Amino acid sequence: IKGLKEEAEVDYQALLALAKLPDIGNINYAEALLGKTMFKASSVIFNVIGYLQKSLPAKGDNPPKAKPTRGGQNIVFPGRKTYPRFLIKKIAVSGKGTPDSSMDGFYVNGIVTGITSEPPIYGLPMTTALFAQTPNQTLLRLDGELNHVTPEFKDKINLTLKGLPLPQLDLSDSKYLPSKILSGKAEINAVAKMDPDLMKLEVLITADNIKTDFSGNPEPDDLISEIVQNTLVNLNQVTVDYQLEQIKDQLEMKISSNLNQIISNRLQETVGEKVTGFTRELRAEVDAKLLKEEKSLDAVKQRYQQTVDAKLNEFQARINLEEQKIEAKRRELEAKKKELERGLQKKIGAEEEKLEEKLQRELDSLKNKL
């Protein structure tokens, strides 16, 4: 019984060692949650960029051969220059919303240069520099350069959005995402780079004070759904670093976010609490089972002890009886011994008297002879 606790503790620790949890810290939750939505948005951007690239073709690699001259003299006309068939050198954009209207607070200012159907002929890239502010105080800054003067074009577009209201965003129909965003604002910094072999989009999103609503979603049917919903209900700040790269026909998407760590920490806390509760229940069950077995063994021990005690008492009674018999026999033998000793003493006394009488007679006879 004394060794049961030690054996139970060994079994308990072995059982805990078997309950190994998966590594939940290396899962890309942001990619699973936002990958579909981000890819849809970036696909639209790539399509627009592709359209712009087709609209601004670069000069061909193999231009048609010039017609052979007839040996005459070339005449140069000063001031003559070839222009593209379609060209807008510069567009200046400026405007603001009417006060006390739905567009009150709107403001836009910017310049677009070099819009042409034949960049190689024009010889200059198309550039854009725009700044705008919406009535809800969202700031937009767009600048870029589409350089299709040569076949080895290099295009770059920078986009910055500040104070973007998150309730306007349309999320995918994933059961893990909220049905709507109640509040929160975001800042988006995006860079798109294009050349003949590569299209790359890099987006950094920082969102603050996010509150969401899952009322239109089904009840979570697993632990991860429950934890994700509880995590996304209220978030102080979320950052998402998104990259999409297209090389020829191959697309590669990468998403990293502090959302991974936030959800992972919440999962570890919840799983830790559940594991703690499980180990506590397991310990209680082991201790209760051990106590029950100890009581059962103790009862068996008591019954066995009673049986042993009864047998011992029986044997002791027999031993006592035999001891009494032995004691009686000893006293009997002791009495016989004393009786024999007395009889022997009498015989010895009689023999001594006879011997003394004989000696006396011999002495008397000797005296008479003398």
pLDDT average per 10 residues of sequence, the chain (370 residues): 61 59 65 81 72 58 51 56 85 90 90 90 92 91 91 89 86 78 93 88 93 84 81 91 86 88 82 68 74 78 83 88 88 87 84 82 77
Q: Is the pTM of this model over 0.85?
A: no
Report d(CA 207, CA 210) in Å as an integer: 7
Instruction: Assign residue 237 a region (left: φ > 0; alpha: ψ between -120 and 50; beta: otherwise).
Output: beta
| Cβ 126 vs Cβ 115: under 8 Å | yes
Three-class SS of 270-318: HHHHHHHHHHHHHHHHHHHHHHHHHHHHHHHHHHHHHHHHHHHHHHHHH
Q: Cβ(126)–Cβ(56) under 8 Å? A: yes
Instruction: Give the C-alpha distances (Å, rounded to integers) separating 49 from 106, 134, 148, 155, 193.
Output: 27, 24, 13, 9, 10
Nearest to 131 by CA among 161, 102, 105: 161
Q: Please tell me the distance from the alpha carbon of residue 173 to that of residue 179, in angstroms, as a whole number.
A: 8
* Cβ–Cβ under 8 Å, residues 95 and 131: no
Which helix (H) or strand (E) segment holds residue 203: the answer is: strand 198-213
- For 114, residues 6+ apart whose C-beta sits below 8 A from its C-beta are 89, 122, 124, 125, 126, 127
pLDDT in the model for residue 301? 79
Q: Report the pLDDT value the prediction gives residue 60, as an integer from 0 to 100.
A: 45
Q: Which residue has the tokens 């996010």?
A: 210
- The one-letter amino acid at 135: P
Token pair in block for residue 173: 């129909």
CA angle 181, 139, 209 (to 5 degrees): 30
> CB-based contacts of 129: which residues, under 8 Å, 6+ apart?
110, 111, 112, 142, 143
CB 103 within 8 A of CB 136: no
Distance from C-alpha of 228 to C-alpha of 212, rounded to nearest angstrom: 12
Question: Among candidates 276, 255, 263, 252, which has minimal Cα distance to 224?
Answer: 263
How many angstroms separate the CA atoms of 244 and 37, rounded? 13
Q: Where does residue 204 rank: exposed (0-12), middle (13-18), buried (19+ CB within 10 A)?
A: middle
| Cβ-contact 135, 103 below 8 angstroms | yes
Cβ atoms 59, 150 nearer than 8 A: yes
